[in-house]
């Protein structure tokens, strides 16, 4: 009923009664403007090789710097952008920001570091996705191996995505499966799909030393990945207990607040500089 009354109907809701609904409507209406006004920015979270302590990669995570509301996290607006289709130009914007940043670090003389970019389902269904990404990478004089593309299990499984994955893989991009173990999928796709890495979801990592079942699942994931020659990274590592468990079970790539939260590019630049300096 409210819908029929036009797009301004949200003004008639009581703010205190429906703050969420109103915010959602406002986000929907202002996403396009945000794109035009360059209000999206990218934070980067380091991925660490625990054996060497070095950053082996970064994950690019979008934020919306809203003029009135401040930094809005992706979970608040990505699903809305997905619904409206705006995720396609927003995703392209993220790729451009990431490539420009990677290029700038390269020109500043830092050692190259792989950057992982999250793709959304809608983006992944675009027919010319592979060529769009390749064009952006080329424009920045980067190579596909400088980027990793993160997709989820549902995306990988959906009406035979093997073709596009193979195309991206052949171009030289690495592919990782995000939030691994949390969606509908079958183990057969691990055998059939051209992927490079799985990211153990932080819901499992959170159960370490609290829930035997989570620990069992993580151990099984590591075993399978290892046998299939897939790299594994654990997400959301926050405690020393979690880190120790992962190391004891031969998971050496981790990402989580225990090392670094996602940070603006300038902060990451400082970390890259430290890492580029040879240690005595
Ligand atoms: P994700 O890809 O699984 O990203 C990891 C999320 O976990 C990030 O949240 C990160 O800040 C958070 N995280 C990392 N380490 C820890 C930890 O130790 N503890 C806790 N509690 N959280 C940790 P963020 O940045 O809010 O992003 C949320 C989700 O939004 C992402 O989940 C991803 O699905 C989506 N997203 C982010 N950027 C993009 C983007 O550029 N495009 C698309 N399509 N989706 C994006
Ligand atoms: Mg991700
Ligand atoms: Mg994840
Ligand atoms: Mg996710």
pTM: 0.93
∠74-76-77 over CA atoms, to 5°? Answer: 70
61 pocket-lining for ligand 1 (C-beta < 6 Å): yes
Q: Residues near 22 by Cβ (< 8 Å), separated by ≥ 6?
A: 10, 13, 15
Strand 40-49 relative to strand 197-200, pairing: unpaired
pLDDT at 40: 98
238 pocket-lining for ligand 1 (C-beta < 6 Å): yes
Q: How confident is the model over 126-167, as pLDDT tens digits?
A: 989 999 999 999 999 999 999 999 999 999 888 778 899 999
User: How far, in Å, from the CA of 81 to the mean position of ligand 4?
Assistant: 15
Residues 11 and 104: their CA atoms lie apart, in Å, by: 44
Looking at the CA of 62, which ligand is closest?
1
Residue by residue, pLDDT tens for the chain (280 residues) are 344 444 444 455 455 566 778 888 888 889 999 999 999 999 999 999 999 999 999 999 999 999 988 999 999 999 999 999 999 999 999 999 999 999 999 999 999 999 999 999 999 999 899 999 999 999 999 999 999 999 999 998 887 788 999 999 999 999 999 999 999 877 888 888 999 999 999 999 999 999 999 999 999 999 999 999 999 999 999 999 999 999 999 999 999 999 999 999 999 999 999 988 765 5
User: How far, in Å, from the CA of 202 to the mean position of ligand 3?
Assistant: 7
pLDDT at 220: 96
Question: Please, are residues 109 and 128 in contact by the beta-carbon 8 Å criterion?
Answer: no
Query: What was the ipTM of the complex prediction?
Result: 0.98
234 pocket-lining for ligand 1 (C-beta < 6 Å): no
Q: How confident is the model over 69-108, as pLDDT tens digits?
A: 899 999 999 999 999 999 999 999 999 999 999 999 999 9
Long-range contacts from 264-272, C-beta under 8 angstroms, 24+ separation:
264/41, 264/43, 264/44, 265/42, 265/44, 265/101, 268/44, 268/46, 268/58, 269/105, 269/108, 269/110, 271/46, 271/55, 272/55, 272/105, 272/110, 272/111, 272/113
∠251-254-259 over CA atoms, to 5°? Answer: 140
3-state secondary structure of 227: helix
């Amino acid at each position: 009923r409210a819908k029929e009354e036009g797009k301004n109907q949200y003004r008639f809701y009581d703010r205190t009664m429906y703050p969420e609904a109103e915010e959602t409507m406002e986000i929907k209406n202002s996403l396009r403007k945000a794109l035009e006004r360059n209000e999206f920015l990218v934070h980067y979270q380091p991925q660490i090789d625990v054996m060497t302590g070095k950053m082996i990669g970064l994950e690019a995570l979008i934020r919306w710097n809203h003029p009135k509301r401040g930094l809005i996290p992706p979970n608040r607006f990505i699903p809305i952008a997905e619904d409206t289709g705006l995720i396609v130009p927003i995703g392209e914007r993220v790729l451009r920001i990431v490539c420009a940043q990677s290029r700038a670090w390269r020109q500043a003389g830092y050692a190259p570091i792989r950057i992982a970019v999250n793709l959304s389902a809608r983006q992944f269904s675009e027919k010319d996705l592979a060529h769009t990404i390749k064009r952006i990478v080329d424009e920045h004089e980067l190579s596909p191996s400088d980027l990793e593309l993160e997709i989820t299990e549902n995306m990988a499984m959906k009406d035979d995505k093997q073709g596009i994955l193979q195309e991206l893989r052949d171009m030289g991009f690495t592919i990782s499966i995000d939030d691994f173990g949390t969606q509908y999928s079958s183990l057969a796709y691990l055998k059939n799909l051209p992927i490079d890495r799985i990211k153990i979801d932080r819901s499992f990592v959170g159960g370490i030393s609290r829930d035997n079942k989570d620990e069992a699942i993580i151990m099984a994931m590591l075993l399978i990945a290892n046998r299939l020659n897939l790299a594994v990274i654990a997400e959301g590592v926050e405690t020393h207990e979690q880190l120790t468990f992962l190391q004891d079970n031969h998971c050496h790539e981790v990402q989580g607040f225990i090392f670094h939260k996602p940070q603006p590019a300038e902060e990451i630049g400082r970390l890259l500089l430290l890492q580029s300096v040879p240690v005595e």
